[in-house]
Structure 1
Amino acid sequence: MKELAGRLAAVDPDAGAAVSVIAYFDRLAETRAGLEALVRGAAVLAGCPARLVDEERRVRVRVEPDGRRKDSGGAPDPGWPCEPLVPGGPPALWLERAGSEGPSVVDAVILERASAAVRSVLDRTRGRAPASPVDDPALVETVLDADAPLSARLHAARRLGLDTGGPSVRVRAVAVADGPPRIVADGQSVPSAGRAGVGPAVAVADLPRSWAAARTALRFASDGRTQEPGPAVVHADELGGVALLAGLVVPGAEPAPDVRAVEAAATDAPWMLRTLHAIASTASLRAAAAEVSVHHSTLQDRLTHAEHLLGWSVRTPQGRFRLQLALTMRQLMRNQ
């Protein structure tokens, strides 16, 4: 298919692009991608926001062309290119592209292939067709979707093999960086080779709440490299009131002065971030020295240099707290 698309592109760019679109959505269908992944594919390929609205099944998904989900409650523009989920049905999938000449050839193919894939997922996960295997990502998405009816979420949960018997059954949602969402039993270890956020233990019916908390916790997780120290797996239960910071550090926000100070200090020496993190996360300077494997006197020298760059002392409780906040806000800004 890739070779065919390349040959066609040399003769007719639109035809080559259309074949590439078909191959793209075929791959998503083969991997049993969920609704958000399908709408994201439409947005990225079209280069404009894509929106899915199925009022009957209470589904609303909107994705920006950069791949970020950003739902909107506004009504779709009648002039946008659109496609129904079933022939003769109401429009359900839109490309938010203004224009009076109608959709281009590529836009039409994107809408047709995406809507067919979306229809298959909805029928599979919302009870209109035989359910799919227990590892179906679309079923997981449905269980975690706060806008999905409870009956649809419980139906999907049963197909995933989750016990929906009552509040005594506790499960957690897990958000994984660059990976699909997961659901684990309370007490089960979190299988992750990278950054992950773990939601609180809840009843199956409350998994959307656990999922929202898990996504927040993921923003506090570090990749664990020497230059970016910190825990790779963060539990929402352990954040407490610190989780409120995630609502303050949002995309486009201006970095706080202390965050800028930490960023500037980090460029001064390769040991800076790891040392500052040790100071902020251990009980004493001696413990911090052991954490970074240096002599106590070496740590003292490092601190003197760091304090000069930061502009405040990190040896007092107030200074350490200020450093903790600055490091946390820096992490949130890097994981937006």
Structure 2
Amino acid sequence: MKELAGRLTALDPDAGAAVRVIAYFDRLAESRAGVEALVRGAAVLSGAPARLVDPDRLVRVRVEPDGTRRDTDLPPDPAWPCAALTPGGAPALWLERAGARPSVVDSVILERAAGAARLVLDRTRGRAPLDDPALVETLLDATAAEPARLHAARRLGLDNAAPFRAVAVPDGPPRVLPADAGADVPAGRAGIGPAVPVPDLPRSWAAARTALRFAAEGTAQDPGPRIVHADGLGGLALLADLVVPGAEPPPDVRAVEAAAADAPWLLATLHAVTATASLRAAAAEANVHHSTLQDRLVHAEHLLGWPVRTPQGRLRLHLALTMRRLARS
């Protein structure tokens, strides 16, 4: 092959370079190189960053021309030279080189790298759908043996080098999403676990279920955030162990429930007070005049039995509203 490449280079430099590219990727395939090595080869040979994205199997790899892996969430430029993993499929491998038409060598790099990557992905990732209930259940089960969970991850096409989050919803199966898949978060109430490596997904799932208990319906009778990230709870997560659904609610929660029965506007108004930085901002959040908010808070304090316009009172109110949600979940 080297002799052939040398002869072709003397006649046509592009043809000689193309033969060397073919030989390079053949050697990688024979050594059973992984996806990252194939993308790195494409980047180094082309002198441009190379990116492979397979959304079906949640694989995303980007490598700089110097061989450094540097992934990104930015979408590929449609003007970049690209290749599909399967004939007629969507583009999955790009060389980040805008402008002129791809050279012969770039085209060969894309074709050989994409073909080799497809074989690796089919061999190691399979084609199981990410919402396969049995596999997801095994993946998130802390009592399952780690080899079984890792096997489920491979069948689901999860990249062990990438972080993922578990997602809990009220009336649906658990989900596993890439750490940066914000647009894929389900509508309605949801608890989002922390981003963790694949082996730690049971921990993310436990945190997601806790976060779901803090999520509200987002209505006048249950105001608050509908999507709660476990990362953002901090010490508040400890309340989930103290407030048991179905048990006798704490006194402050009973006071809030009684006050809400007397004034239908109360819950939304009190949530605005705890969710904003000032009473003026709370009035805007509640869509009332500042003086109207003041009158409502005077009435709310009378019903609740404690002030809500002091720092201590606002903290007590915030905890009461949070415990109410935990007691109802």
CA distance in 2: counterparts of 1:330 and 1:132, whole angstroms? 41
Hey, which of these two has a bigger chunk of helix by percent?
A: 2
SS of residue matched to 2:147: helix
CA deviation map 1:60-104 (0-9, x unaligned): xxxxxxxxxxxxxxxxxxxxxxxxxxxxxxxxxxxxxxxxxxxxx
Could you report, residue by residue, the CA deviation over 1:264-320 in whole angstroms, capped at 9, with x for unpaired residues?
011112211000001111111000000011000000100010000000110100000
Q: TM-score, normalised by structure 1?
A: 0.59
Separation in 2 of the partners of 1:158 and 1:192? Answer: 24
What does the per-residue CA deviation read over 1:185-220, in whole Å, with 9 as the maximum and x for residues that have no partner?
A: 111114212110000000000000000000000000
> Of residues 177, 183, 187 in structure 1, which corresponds to 2:180?
187
1:325 is the counterpart of 2:319: yes
Report the counterpart of residue 272 of structure 1 in structure 2: 266
One-letter amino acid of the counterpart of residue 291, structure 1: E
Structure 1 unaligned residues grouped into runs of 5+: 1-129
Output the CA distance in 2 between the equivalents of 1:252 and 1:188: 34
Q: What is the match of residue 163 of structure 1?
A: 159
1:255 Cα shift? 1.2
- Partners of 2:149 and 2:199 within 8 A in 1: yes
C-alpha distance in structure 1 between counterparts of 2:128 and 2:157, whole Å: 12
Please tell me whether residue 288 in structure 1 is matched to residue 282 in structure 2: yes
Structure 2 residue aligned with 1:313 = 307
2:5 aligned partner: none
Residue 152 of structure 1 is matched in structure 2 by 148
The aligned runs of 1:16-165 (5 Å cut-off) are 133-164=129-160
2:43 maps to none
- Counterpart of 2:222 in structure 1 is 228
Cα deviation 1:143-187 (Å, max 9, x = unaligned): 0000001110011111111012x4xx2100000111111111111
**Structure-2 separation of matches of 1:134 and 1:296:** 50
Tell which structure's C-alpha radius of gyration is larger: 2
Calculate the aligned-residue CA RMSD, in Å.
1.4
Q: How much has 1:131 moved relative to structure 2?
A: 9.1
Output the CA distance in 1 between the equivalents of 2:129 and 2:222. Answer: 38
CA contact (8 A) 2:210 2:237 kept: yes
Taking only the aligned residue pairs, the percentage that are identical comes to: 73
TM-score (norm 2): 0.60
Q: Which residue of 2 aligns with 1:260?
A: 254
| Contact kept? 2:192, 2:227, Cα under 8 Å | yes
Report the equivalent of 2:242: 248
Residue 225 of structure 1 deviates from its aligned partner by 1.3
Deviation at 1:134, TM superposition (A): 4.1
State the alpha-carbon separation in 2 of the partners of residues 131 and 291 from structure 1. Answer: 47
